[in-house]
A and B are shown apart, each in its own frame.
Chain A
Amino acid sequence: MKRRNFLRLSFFLAFLIFVFPLQSQERYRKSPPFPEPLDELKFPKIESFALSNGLGVTVARREGLPLLSLQLVIMAGESHSPEKFPGLATFTAKMMTKGAMELSSSRIEEIIESIGGNLSVSTFLDYSVFTFSFLEEYLDEALEVLSKMILLPTFPRREMDNEKRTLFYELRRKGNDPEFIAQNQLFRILFRDHPYLKGAFTEEPIKNISHRDVLAFYDQYYVPNNAHLVLVGNLNLPTAVRKVSHYLNTWKNKKIESQFIPIPEPSKNEKICLVDLPQAEDSTIYIGNVIFPKKSQDFFPFIVLNQVLGGTTNSRLFMNLRESKGYAYFAFSEINLFKRSGVFLIKAKVRPEVVNSSVRECFREIEKIIKEEITSFEIEQAKSYLIGNFPLQIETFESFCSRIAEAQAFALGNEFWNNYYENIMLINSEKVFEIAQKYPLLTPVIIIVADKAKIMEHLIDFKEIEIYNSRGELQYIQKIGVDE
């Protein structure tokens, strides 16, 4: 008996010896390999210097490409536009490239293209930024044309009319986009009576902007002590300072009357607004509330929270509303942060008949974040996403330049992005749980952009709904099921 067993065993062993090598070759294919240790993110040195006229200059060295990326930040955003001309900051920034002493707008375009350049302008709530990239051998030419545009703009009337028309139609076109409407409406409600309200400007006031308004805005804010220039590429701080100073030291500084921007209060009661967009096929939901400004201790725990809740297609909102319930085309959450405040929002595009259930599910997910501590597995997964994805966001010179400019505009310090990895690593379940309690996430403003006729009957959870048109004007307040 024993012997037979042994025999069998030896057969088995022989069989193993024969088969095992074949199997073992492929065994590593069965499951995903473990990651190796992650290399440190070596951030290039970021150095700053201030010229005698107050203009800040920051340089970060990046090698490998014969290109330079430049950003000029002017601390004049939509919050600085006058009350009667929301949009003036945007319009003025656009006009800066449309004519300078001796240079027509066509000539400016030609000069920029001659140096392999590309120039664009964006305006945010707190600042405007000129983004200019070009071949590195033309730094002088680039600074020369930039200095002419910034120091000696002519704001030609014909170009102003052109630009007004362009901006007007651009805004009108965007005015049909449900997401644009929803975001603007959310900001209008959250920032009512606040300078940030001007960020949600519409096309109508653009028509009335005069040459004088643009000139006055330019005079007030386009001064070197209100500006910062960032350069990224293969150059050092002394060279950059010398060249920038050569072209921009005649830019006269001036005392600017800093405008006090109060800190807006978050919404304390849940409120729902329906923006009627007849013929809209789907319903767009935005749910948001005021949180903290860009410079804040709460930034890191909150971005981890956001990641778990709705940062990607693997996050809770997307998994619930799209993958599990099949309500939504998409469902995400995001954070928009500014100098004095910020907004946390959930956005989803859903089928009209499930709009009520979708809002309910969004609230359920927020509640879960507030009431139950997130497992450390989920926290670690969110962190590994944030850490893994970050270098992808700063890969091009332009995107890296934007990050530095942003850190300057919000006075975050040159070390901010350098410490990004470490700061994320420090976040754990308790810190996220703590931050979830701190802000009134459960009393947000709810915006729904949809065809009213399609969805009104489905909105059964709400007693009082404010009805708006797509330009943000209140039409009436609908009360449902209130007997007394």
Chain B
Amino acid sequence: MVKLYHSKYKIFKSLLIIRITLLFLIIFSAQAQTQKDLPFPIYHFQLKNGLQVILSEDNSLPIVSVVIAYDVGSINEQQGKTGLAYLMENLMFQGSKNVSRMQHILYINRIGGTLNAITSEEKTIFLQTVPSNQLALVLWLESDRMKYLEIKESNVERVKDSLIEEIQHRKTSDPYLESSFAFDTLIYPNFAYSHPVIGSREDLREITIEDIKDFYSTYYVPNNAVLCVVGNIERKRTEELIRKYFESIPKGKEIPSSPSLEAAQKKSASETFEDSIASLPGFHLGYGVIPKHSGEFYSLSILNYVLLRGKSSRLHKRLFKRERIVFDYSGGIEKRKDFVAFKLFVLCNNEIMVERSLRAILSEFNRLKSTHLSESELTKSKNMFKVDYIRQYATSLERALFLTDAYLTHGTMDHLVSELNRYLEVSAIDIIGVINRYFTSDRRILLKIKIK
């Protein structure tokens, strides 16, 4: 296939290239230098209405990923209105002024693209990957629903019904869901952080159309969003398109601040959850941490790999291979804003095994607290971590999500240049330090699952 441009457009384009290049030279020379160590370019600018725009070129394949993240999640929900953030995400597919209901999905599917949306505790993300010549289509779709979403009673009711059905379905298909929700209320410091994203049936019914309109006009505004475009793009042309579709969207009011963690106290708990649908007993075990500085978070991340990532990790070897006392286990670290939870979920064949595995896990923690971690084990854990870190930007979509997340978490992407190295510089002493400081009995949260 040959690229065919209208000649007039071509001239116009080359003129613009000169102007924009000059502009970039001035604005980005400092940035471009500091970020040369990342395996991809990053260009970041802000529109007048506050929309943050991140562009990253990768011309290896003719595709482009577009991610829009709104800095709002279930953490921002009020008591009695849980599930509102997720409801809002679903309503974004119910049609806007120029795009009728579900047409967004159809447009993307028809051209071979993929799309999805994710609501988490801290953010709501809309994502799509399409052939790169269809970038404008995605920007058109996303800007229309940012500017002109149609919030109609009939759509709200339909979405509520399907979400209530989804809650029901998730609860029946995962017998341990209720206990994990209960565990979250124990480990997380307050209601804002601990309640589930999917919300509750009762709350969903209570949410009014005014609540939704209010939520939309407060949070789904350019000054609360990040737009990230990664792939086979021409920077200048992409910026033009973004300005065309997004610049005229009015800036919203000042964004209310997220609930703070200042009052969070160190706490421990040991409780029992009576489960009526589960067939195997087990437990949730965890520790809540507010890292004092990012270095501690890096150490916790590597510790996570030493303990339970891979078949040669400490817990896998002990629980599965040596003692064979668990039926299944999963876990890891989970970050919600500034709060980090280390969580383990273990299932066993019977109550005796539950006690034995709990003792085995605590003894593995203790062993790590008091004995030396060998260089080879540390290197192994770091290499596994490194691969997973790199894979966060392996595809255009993953890279767009990675950059969006970095920006939303830190308000900048400057740290990315050295971030991987910061993880890889973690020493055995650092790991012993964080496990001794945070994996203590006065922070231990335990929820045993008893089957009825």
Which residue numbers of A lie inside 8 Å of B, CB to CB? 25-26, 28-42, 62-67, 106, 109-110, 113-118, 133-135, 312-314, 381, 384-392, 394-397, 421, 425
Contacts and interface: CB of A to CB of B under 8 A. Distances in A.
B194 interface: no
Interface in B350-375: none
A109 B110 CA distance: 43
Contact of A32 (B140, B310, B384): B140
B253 interface: no
A107 B244 CA distance: 58
B384 A65 contact: no
Contacts of A42: 60
A41 B312 contact: no
A106 B312 contact: yes
Contact of B312 (A38, A109, A390): A109
Given A30-B98, A110-B312, A395-B395, A36 B110 contact: no
Interface residues of B, number: 56
Contacts of A390: 112
22 contacts: A28-B244, A29-B144, A31-B98, A33-B136, A33-B137, A35-B137, A36-B133, A37-B2, A38-B1, A40-B3, A64-B39, A64-B58, A64-B60, A65-B390, A67-B387, A106-B321, A113-B311, A113-B380, A385-B109, A388-B134, A392-B63, A392-B112
A40 B310 contact: no
A109 B312 CA distance: 7
A134 B384 CA distance: 9
Interface string B1-21: 111110000000000000000
**Which of A66, A110, A114, A133 has the largest number of chain B CB atoms within 10 A?**
A114
Nearest to B130: A388
Top 5 A-B residue pairs of the complex, sorted by shortest distance between their CB atoms: A388-B112, A389-B112, A116-B387, A116-B383, A33-B136
Given A31-B98, A113-B312, A41 B137 contact: no
Contacts of B244: 28
B185 interface: no
Interface string B375-390: 0100110011011001
B61 A41 contact: yes
Nearest to B103: A32
B331 interface: no
A110 B131 contact: no
Nearest to A394: B61
A38 B136 contact: no
A114 B306 CA distance: 12
Given A64-B39, A392-B63, A114 B112 contact: no
A386 B109 CA distance: 11
A29 B110 contact: no
Nearest to B61: A391
A319 to B, nearest CB: 11
Interface in B82-110: 97-98, 106-107, 109-110
B380 A110 contact: yes
Interface string B223-266: 00000000010000000000010001000000000000000000
B45 interface: no
B40 interface: yes
Given A31-B98, A109-B312, A396-B395, A37 B383 contact: no
Interface in B379-409: 379-380, 383-384, 386-387, 390-391, 393-396
A293 B383 CA distance: 42
A304 to B, nearest CB: 13
Contacts of A389: 112-113
B295 interface: no
Given A384-B111, A392-B112, A396-B395, A38 B384 contact: no
Interface of B: 1-5, 39-40, 58, 60-63, 97-98, 106-107, 109-114, 129-137, 140-141, 143-144, 232, 244, 248, 310-312, 317, 321, 376, 379-380, 383-384, 386-387, 390-391, 393-396
Nearest to A137: B383
Contact of A314 (B40, B109, B376): B109
B311 A395 contact: no
B140 A29 contact: yes
A247 B108 CA distance: 47
A388 B136 contact: no
B114 to A, nearest CB: 6
A33 B312 contact: no
Given A39-B132, A384-B111, A135 B395 contact: no
A105 B48 CA distance: 59
A109 B396 contact: no
B40 A64 contact: yes
A454 to B, nearest CB: 21
Nearest to A397: B394
Contacts of B321: 106
Nearest to B399: A64
Given A29-B97, A385-B112, A41 B386 contact: no
A33 B135 CA distance: 9
B435 to A, nearest CB: 20
Nearest to A425: B1
B58 A113 contact: no
Contact of A391 (B63, B144, B387, B394): B63
Contacts of A391: 61-63, 131
B404 to A, nearest CB: 18
Nearest to A134: B387
Nearest to B141: A32
A162 B131 CA distance: 46
A133 to B, nearest CB: 8
Contacts of A116: 383-384, 386-387
A30 B317 CA distance: 60
A115 B140 CA distance: 44
Nearest to A386: B112
Nearest to A64: B39
A31 B3 CA distance: 24
B110 A384 contact: yes
Contacts of B140: 28-29, 32-33
Contacts of B135: 36
Contacts of A32: 107, 137, 140-141
A388 B113 CA distance: 7
Contacts of A33: 136-137, 140
Contact of B1 (A28, A29, A394, A421): A421
Contacts of B380: 110, 113-114
A149 B104 CA distance: 49
Contacts of A388: 111-113, 130-131, 134
A387 B113 CA distance: 10
A113 B62 contact: no
Nearest to B132: A39
B396 A395 contact: yes
Given A36-B133, A106-B321, A392 B383 contact: no
- Which of A30, A36, A115 lies at the interface centre, i.e. has the most chain B CB atoms within 10 A of its CB? A36
A115 B383 contact: yes
B155 to A, nearest CB: 18
B39 A65 contact: yes
A135 B396 contact: no
B140 to A, nearest CB: 5
Contact of B61 (A63, A118, A395): A395
B110 A385 contact: yes
Contacts of B248: 25-26
Nearest to B39: A64
B113 A66 contact: no
A135 B1 contact: no
